[in-house]
Amino acid sequence: MNHITTQEINLQDREERLKLIPRGRPYFVPVVAGLISLGYRRNFEDCGTWIVRKANGDGTSWIRRIGRADDLTDANGKEILNYTQALNRALDRSRGERHRGGKQVTVADALDEYEKALLRDGKYPQTIWQVRKRLPKALLYKEVAQLTADELRSFRDSLKGAPMTINNRIGALKAAFNLLLDKDAYANKYAWEKGLVRLKNAVVAREAILPDEQVYKLVHAAYEEDNAFGLFVEVGAVTGARPSQIRRLKVIDLQPNADPRPRIMMPTSRKGVNPHNKPSHREMPITEELTHKLLEDAKDRASNELLLSSAYYSKNYYQIQFRRAATRAGLPKSVTYYWLRHSSIVRQIKARKPLQMIANTHDTSTAMIERHYAHYISSQNEMLRDALPDFGKPTDRKVVAFRRT
C-alpha cells in the first residue's frame, strides 16, 4: 500500500487536494514545527474541511474545525477558505485557544448546553435525556470536532423504535450540535449533516388514522385479551391521551359527578413545555359507559392509588398486548397505541371543534395540530360555507326609510 508522507501533501492547490483519498482522518501539514499543524479532511461527497491541531506541551493536543475548503466553491473568507485564509485562521485560532485553555467541546458538553437552552425557553428537555441515555460512552465523551459521519450514522441506525421517534431523537442531537455551531463556527457540521439524516419511512400523523368502526373493534379486542387492558385501551380511545399520561391517573382524578357530565382530570404530559410552567392536569370529558367501568374497577382502591391496573404500565408489555389486540381486530401490525390519539384529534377536527379546544384537550399546541393534521383542517371548507353571503339571491325585504328626528 502506498502511503502519502507529509512532504508529499500539497494542500495549497485545489486540484491537488481533490486527488487525495477521501477519509475521516485529516491530512496534516506542519505550520509551526512541533506545535501547530493545518489539517484538511477530504470528504466523500462534499467539499473538504480545514482543521487546526495544536500541541498543549504536555503530550496532549486539541483539534478544531476552522472552515470549509474552496474545493467546489470560491472562497469568501468566512465559512469557505482558501489555503492562505485557512493558514491565517489556524494561527489566530491557536492564539485564541491559549486563553481558553484549549478545552475541547464534547458531545456531552453540547447536550448540556442545549438542555440549558431548552430550560431557559421554558421547554422540557426529555428528548435530550433520552438521547444522552442511548449514546455510547465512547461517542458521548468524544470531541465534536472529531466526529465522523460514519459513526453518527451508526448511532442513528442503532436506535430502536418507530421511525418518528428515531427522527425526534436524532433531530434533538442535531439541534444540540447546531446550537454549538452558533457559538463556535469551527464545529464539524459535515459529520452530523451527513450522518444524522432523518429516516424517510416515518409515518406521518395524518396517515395513522383509524375510522370509528375500527377503533370500536380494537377496543373490544383489547377487552377480549384482558378486562384491565381493555380499560387501558378504551381510556386512550375516548380521551386521545398519551399512554404516559394514562398510566399516571389516580382514583381521585375520576370525577363521575362533575357538572354537567362526568370527566377525568388527565395528568399533563412531560413533553414540550417545562412542567413547572404548565398545569398539572387538564379536564377531559368521558362517556357515561366508561365512567361506570372505571368506578367498578377502582371500587376497592384508595383515592391516591392508581386508577388503572399497574399490570400494563410496562411499555414493552402493553405494546405486546396491543399488537395482539390489533391482530385480533384484523388491523395491520403497524397500528400502535398512538393511532388512538391521532384518530381522536381527527375525530374532533371533523366535528368542527375549535383548534385551540382540541389542542388543550390533547395537551398539545395548535401549531402541532396544523403541522400534522393540515389535510383534515384544510378540508373543512364547509365550516365557512354557511357564513358566505349570496348577493345574487333576490330578497323580499323592503327598504324602510328612517324618519329624521
In order along its 405 residues, the chain shows pLDDT tens digits of 344 544 567 888 888 888 888 887 889 988 876 788 999 998 877 788 999 888 877 777 888 888 889 988 888 888 889 998 898 888 877 765 544 444 567 899 899 999 988 888 777 788 888 899 999 998 998 878 778 888 999 999 999 877 878 888 999 999 998 887 766 544 567 778 888 988 876 655 556 889 999 999 999 999 998 888 999 999 999 999 988 889 889 999 999 987 778 999 998 876 655 555 567 888 899 999 999 999 999 888 899 999 987 656 566 678 888 999 999 999 988 898 989 999 999 999 988 888 899 998 898 888 888 878 887 876 556 666 667 777 766 656 555 555 565
Separation between Cα atoms, residue 165 and residue 49, nearest integer Å: 32
- Closest listed residue to residue 173, CA positions, set 154, 157, 152: 152
pTM of whole model > 0.85? no
* pLDDT score, position 269: 79
The one-character DSSP state at 352 is T
321 CA to centre of own chain? 26
Looking at domain 6-100, its CATH architecture is 2-Layer Sandwich (3.30)
| pLDDT value for 185 | 46
340-355 as b/e: b if 16+ CB within 10 A: bbbbbbbbbbeeeeeb
Query: What is the pLDDT, as a whole number, of residue 395?
Result: 58
For residue 154, the number of C-alpha atoms closer than 13 Å in the C-beta half-sphere is: 9
Q: Which residues of 228-250 are buried (b: 16+ CB within 10 A; e: fewer)?
A: ebbbbbbbbbbbbbbbebbbbbb
Residue 32: in which H helix or E strand, if any?
strand 27-32
Domain with CATH 1.10.443.10 in the chain: 206-381
Q: What is the model's pLDDT at position 13? A: 86
Predicted local distance difference test score (pLDDT) of residue 40:
93
CA distance 318 to 336: 10
Greatest extent of the chain over all pairs of C-alpha atoms, in Å: 108
229 contact partners, CB below 8 Å, separation of at least 6: 222, 223, 309, 311, 312, 318, 321, 325
Give the CATH class of 206-381: mainly alpha
CB 41 within 8 A of CB 21: no
Q: Are strands 49-55 and 281-285 parallel, antiparallel or unpaired?
A: unpaired
The per-residue pLDDT for 293 is 93
Q: Looking at residue 191, what is its pLDDT?
A: 79
What are the residue ranges of CATH 3.30.160 in the chain?
A: 6-100
Q: How far apart are CA 184 and CA 176, in angstroms?
A: 12
At the topology level, CATH places domain 107-201 in DNA polymerase; domain 1 (1.10.150)
The length of the chain in residues reads 405
**CA atoms of 263 and 287, how far apart (whole Å):** 8
What count of other Cβ atoms lies within 10 Å of the Cβ of residue 94? 22
Half-sphere exposure of 282 (CA within 13 A, CB side): 19
Residues forming CATH 1.10.150 domain(s) in the chain: 107-201
pLDDT score for 346 = 92
